[in-house]
Chain A
């Protein structure tokens, strides 16, 4: 089992810390959903976990070793990232974009080989988007691009996946497909940390939850214990009912019902 761990982290930008006193541990084979309102610092947390943003103090450790001491390809072979916004200035094909995910597995001067193509193809297949293969990435809709980026992260074959709102801009069906994929990845013993704006996703994944609120991790624990009506009211400022769906096996979970 591997761990991605934060010890006494203070994260943010010089002269402006956004998150303080962060202690957190993600193991392979578990899902953690990060909840919090817009601007709470979820993306800052993720960028710090990826070593893109240097911690102001404290440390982030991958398997006990500070992440600054990992070299980029080594780190990328273990930790994949699905970012929120993206821009691509050149018209690469979808296949090329998915192959970018294989970069960490290539040699310093390498380019994709036969094996990389096969893996990329499998990842497209897994998400049922093989039909996009030869399309130009920049011409796709936001949701299609999002699916391709998920495929890119899968092609990276990491042990941890950091997903920054992977379901934003996805249609209803694709949202569910991503959630199913996340569950399947967990069963393949990946560790997944996922920011989401829908508390239901935490219930659907039977996940742990970390709530980022007022510059710290305010609550953490299993979704069934943490995500309550009071807490949702506190972080989002709206009335929500949390109800059980009953005991039928296909929908044996809690749901959030906002009052309108």
Chain B
């Protein structure tokens, strides 16, 4: 009996593990290819040589790689992965596959923070700190409001409604900032920031963002089984032994931290956090133990591909946020039609 069982266990999860390994390999290959793309063409052999030995063909190449290409590639991997994994986590706690990471107002809060900072002529670092802080503040406000008005009512519904209200307020404030901003210098900056882009990202920024993303991801991975149990709703999860209030709060905090960390360096990038978890669920199923890492890897790959197009398709770089919406929206419809046929 137990021998047969072991085989079964291995068989059930080997598919998911294999998919994760393949995605990891794919990510490495696409990252390598992405490094070769750009106005200054490089061969993948040269890049591999540089990565493993530290010796570049010439000085230009090492400057280009270290200061421009690598930060950009890391940035795309980090931003795409982070938005997707937090999207998957949000969809899990809200028990709703139509939820995206900005449901609790992180993005609109961060957007307001950034536009305020730009209007006040703060430095780039100042803009990022403001975006990060107000992004988290927005989520905190949502949690507080839903707690005050939502006594004894459906907690999830209250969270979503509070999120909508808070989002609307911050969006109005963003419009206000645009209205009062200097139309020659500030308004273009604000507009550009809100579109989302990876073009200015530096290695220093990544060094700050990476640890915060990791701090957010570790609890998500550790709590992935409990997140599964939450699928049956609060009451049943409680009777199965899950402390739903603590779990939801922890996951909201972690997912919001992850989102705010990447939004503050990349601006508002929509769609990724909504569509990639669907794609990942299509690949490995709904078990968050596999779904969360799969979302991260798929999101990274997706972002690398789209950013590659954004950088190389036209001589003038297309803002990433726009391109993602243009690609993401129709892609989402394709997933939807596929997944209803296959599973739900």
Residues of A within 8 A of B (CB): 13-14, 47, 50-52, 71-73, 75-77, 79-81, 83, 86-93, 95-96, 100-101, 103-104, 106, 109-112, 114, 117-118, 121, 134, 136, 138, 152, 156
Contacts and interface: CB of A to CB of B under 8 A. Distances in A.
Contacts of A13: 152
Contacts, number: 102
6 contacts: A76-B239, A81-B239, A91-B285, A91-B343, A92-B285, A100-B240
B69 interface: no
B171 interface: no
Given A51-B238, A86-B236, A134-B12, 18 more contacts: A81-B236, A81-B239, A87-B232, A89-B95, A90-B281, A90-B286, A91-B285, A91-B344, A95-B12, A100-B240, A103-B229, A103-B242, A111-B224, A117-B8, A117-B9, A138-B343, A138-B344, A152-B240
Interface in B235-259: 235-236, 238-243
Contact of B241 (A95, A96, A103): A103
B311 interface: no
Interface residues of B, number: 36
Contacts of A89: 95-97, 231
A9 B9 CA distance: 46
Contact of B242 (A72, A90, A109, A136): A72
Contact of A110 (B225, B231, B238): B225
A52 B235 contact: yes
Contacts of B223: 109
Contacts of B95: 89-90
B343 A79 contact: no
A195 to B, nearest CB: 15
A52 to B, nearest CB: 5
Interface string B125-150: 00000000000000000000000000
B238 A72 contact: yes
Contacts of B233: 86-87
B178 interface: no
B232 A111 contact: no
Contact of B239 (A50, A71, A96): A50
B36 interface: no
Contact of A136 (B96, B281, B343): B343
B2 interface: yes
A92 to B, nearest CB: 5
A104 B6 CA distance: 22
B285 to A, nearest CB: 7
B202 interface: no
Prevailing SS type, chain B contact patch: helix
B239 A121 contact: no
B97 A118 contact: no
Contact of B231 (A83, A90, A106, A117): A90
Contacts of A72: 238, 241-243
Contacts of B238: 50-52, 72
Contacts of A156: 240-241
Interface string B267-306: 0000000000000010001110100000000000000000
B199 interface: no
B222 interface: yes
Nearest to B4: A121
- The listed residue with most A CB atoms (<10 A of its CB), out of B239, B243, B281, B344, is B239
Contact of A92 (B1, B228, B240): B228
A118 B5 contact: yes
B72 interface: no
Contacts of B5: 114, 117-118, 121
Nearest to A112: B225
B240 A104 contact: yes
Nearest to B239: A81
A219 to B, nearest CB: 28
A103 B247 CA distance: 14
Contacts of B285: 91-93
A80 B344 contact: no
Contacts of A134: 12
Given A52-B235, A91-B343, A103 B240 contact: yes
